[in-house]
Amino acid sequence: MSTSLKIISILVGVLVGLLVMAQFRTSTPLGSSYPLDQVRAQKELIKSYIDDETQLKSRIVSLREKIDQTLKDNKLISQTTNLEKLNELKKQIDLSEIKGKGFNINLDDSPYIDRDSIKPDEGGIVYAADIRDIINLLRANNVEGIAVNDQRIIATSPITSVGNSVLINNSHLSPPFNISVIGDYESFLVRISDPGVLTDLQKRVNENGIKFSIKQSPHIILPIYNGQFRLKFIKRTDESTS
């Protein structure tokens, strides 16, 4: 056996030895308790925030109803103040429940997808961007009101994706997404049949199995907006001193 072959054999042996050792010393994912504990703690923290949020939003709705009732009950207030104007404004900013004719759009992940164990660019799941695009199209079609899984959509409703989750009005929503709309069904059907709109979503409905359906309904009820309005930096020009 030549010397060079002997050296190569020794080097290969050493390398194999090192790799075998590394193999046995590497912790498997399940054996690594720290990262898994951390992930669990993060999930618990998120859950506690979501629980708090649900309670806070429910408190907001309850307070708004109480205020509304107090205004109705107090005759002096109703006779001497511009309650009509206030109620009209509340309708405009979605602080009142509305009912009417409309339709429901149902949007769901592909049945072959498990949302918890997918890659971020998977085509078979519904993204926040899909919901944003549909809502924009509905608004472009001049509908009267929109809610997604009972979250009333206002002009400043954030619709975001964090990981594989969808947050609307900062509330955590899971599929299927039911978009309830008060507005003209026929006109929206014509709009959505245009191949130039919602192109990415239409492609993924056809190719990746996303479920998308629209159903007309004579009785749509949209709930009152249950979130907050940010007015920390805005000032009215007519109250400006500068």
Partner 1 sequence: MNLLHRKKNKSNMQIALLLITGLVLGFIVIIQAKHFTNYIETIGRDSTENVFRRIQILKISNDELKDEISSLETQFEDLNDQAQSFATIDNDIKKDEIIAGETDIFGPGIELTIENNLNVVWFIDLTNELITSGAEAISVNNIRLTNSTMGFDPLPNGQIMINGVILQPPYTFQAIGDKEELNQILTNPIGILNRMNSAIKDFKYEISQKDRIDMKKV
Cα–Cα distance for residue pair 153/136, rounded to 1 Å: 11
155 lines the binding site for partner 1 (CB under 8 A): yes
Which of 104, 106, 110, 141 forms a contact with partner 1 (CB under 8 A)?
A: 141
Please, is 181 exposed, middle or buried when counting C-beta atoms within 10 Å of its C-beta (0-12, 13-18, 19+)?
buried
Torsion 180-185-187-190 (CA) sign: positive
Q: How many CB atoms lie within 10 A of CB 145?
A: 25
In contact, 124 and 112? CB cutoff 8 Å: yes
Cα–Cα distance for residue pair 159/170, rounded to 1 Å: 8
196 lines the binding site for partner 1 (CB under 8 A): yes
10 lines the binding site for partner 1 (CB under 8 A): no
Stretch that binds partner 1, among 98-106, 179-187, 201-209, 223-231 (CB under 8 A): 223-231
174 lines the binding site for partner 1 (CB under 8 A): no
Count, residues in the chain: 242
Which of 72, 114, 158, 187 forms a contact with partner 1 (CB under 8 A)?
A: 158
147 lines the binding site for partner 1 (CB under 8 A): no
φ, ψ at 93 (rounded to 5°): -100, 20
Which of 4, 29, 75, 219 forms a contact with partner 1 (CB under 8 A)?
A: 29
φ, ψ at 190 (rounded to 5°): -60, -45
DSSP label at residue 33: H
230 lines the binding site for partner 1 (CB under 8 A): yes
Task: Write 78-87 long-range contacts (CB < 8 A, 24+).
Answer: none
- Which residues, 38 to 97, sit near partner 1 by CB under 8 A? 39, 42, 45-46, 49-50, 52-53, 56-57, 59-60, 63-64, 66-67, 70-71, 74, 76-77, 80-83, 85-86, 89-90, 92-95
15 lines the binding site for partner 1 (CB under 8 A): yes
Site string for partner 1, 100-129 (x = CB under 8 A): -----------------x-----------x
205 lines the binding site for partner 1 (CB under 8 A): no
Site size for partner 1 (CB under 8 A)? 93
Which of 4, 27, 79, 241 forms a contact with partner 1 (CB under 8 A)?
A: 27
